[in-house]
Structure 1
């Protein structure tokens, strides 16, 4: 059986699941999901790329609980973390509509948002590295983000016989720019439904409980 390595774009998957199904499938066993999608393969590793949200303490706690439960239940999951960078944005002046310069008093205000950094770069690097080193027999990308197109192209150049599959999260469209380069398929709800973690996951003397908001 071929060894598969999965590369999961955590936020692409999360936002796709939430937009399509609410919170029903956020407590997801990624290894089980990959195994159901690739029944004839052995899941050698799942590399999960994400960053802990900023400015939302409750959401950050749920995210940390999930990552702890996932890695405790599935040792073959490796979580690779990026981070969020503060980004100040200007808003249009409500009085005159100006976006860049305004003579109104008081002057227009700024608001703070956060920008995810490094996760896409880390995923692309891991995919290319594994192709170059011959780690595993095939790559499975869980994302429809076409920013990964250069990584797919580089992987195919380094390992032309290595298959690359793209599993499309629900609600995120299809990777049309990948056509002719990879095999793509949608993540089916029946596979999601059958791939949830136990409600309580033992973790080195602790118990990680599925958040009530995700029930």
Structure 2
């Protein structure tokens, strides 16, 4: 039986899905944000595949809605609930990173002058994801395929190294509505493949509106 390890860039995946939901041509709704990634990944493999390990990398935006405590609490609670669902229902390991502050220069829309803004950006996710992929690829001999759900080109050096140093296959699953950089198409190794996640894949991978695990009931906040 083929053994598969999968790694999910939660931040990249979520924002691509969010943009798809907001698209005029999409039939997806906010309820579709609760995805069973184990089910989703299985749609791209045959039944003789053991998806043994899945890791989900993201970060909780504690800085969100700084001026509205209720909205901030609601957003944090949604993230925590989703993390628990992934862990207990989907059996996916969640790796939580952090957001860091960044000063950027922008143009004021009112006075057209340069201004400095304080923004937050996710930290550690791409490095943590890359380290875990590389470690597993180099130390676990019986992995057949490594799956990466992301469209971030930061992972290309890691992909190339694994393809050069091992005989393991790598399958990229590009999130729905992602902008796929042409650099991915330049990877020509026979053990590399890539697919796009489509709307039907999302619909087939939904977590039920209400799930009970070990006596605790979780309900999607998007009903």
TM-score scaled by structure 1? 0.85
Partner of 2:216: 206
- Structure 1 SS opposite 2:157: helix
Aligned with 2:199 (options 189, 201, 208): 189
For 2:155 and 2:161, locate their aligned partners in 1 and report how far apart those are by CA, in whole Å: 10
For 2:196 and 2:109, locate their aligned partners in 1 and report how far apart those are by CA, in whole Å: 43
Q: Please report how far the alpha carbon of residue 158 of structure 1 lies from its aligned counterpart in structure 2 after TM superposition.
A: 2.4
Cα root mean square deviation, aligned: 2.0
- Structure 2 SS opposite 1:7: strand
Looking at CA atoms only, which structure, 1 or 2, has the larger radius of gyration? 1
How do residues 41-190 of structure 1 correspond to structure 2 at under 5 angstroms? 41-56=49-64, 57=72, 58-75=74-91, 77-92=92-107, 97-99=112-114, 110-134=116-140, 136-159=143-166, 161-179=167-185, 180-181=188-189, 182-190=192-200
Q: Give the aligned length.
A: 202
* 5+ long unaligned stretches in structure 2: 23-29, 65-71
* 5+ long unaligned stretches in structure 1: 100-107
1:14-65 C-alpha deviation (Å, 9 max, x unpaired): 0111111242421100101111122242111111110111323222221111
Contact in 1 for aligned 2:86/2:93 (Cα 8 Å): no
Partner of 1:25: 32
- Structure 1 SS opposite 2:33: coil
Report the more deviating stretch, 142-151 or 33-42.
33-42
Distance of aligned partners of 1:137 and 1:60 in 2 relative to their CA distance in 1, 3 Å threshold:
same
Contact in 2 for aligned 1:4/1:138 (Cα 8 Å): yes
Q: Please report how far the alpha carbon of residue 95 of structure 1 lies from its aligned counterpart in structure 2 after TM superposition.
A: 8.0
For 2:202 and 2:212, locate their aligned partners in 1 and report how far apart those are by CA, in whole Å: 22
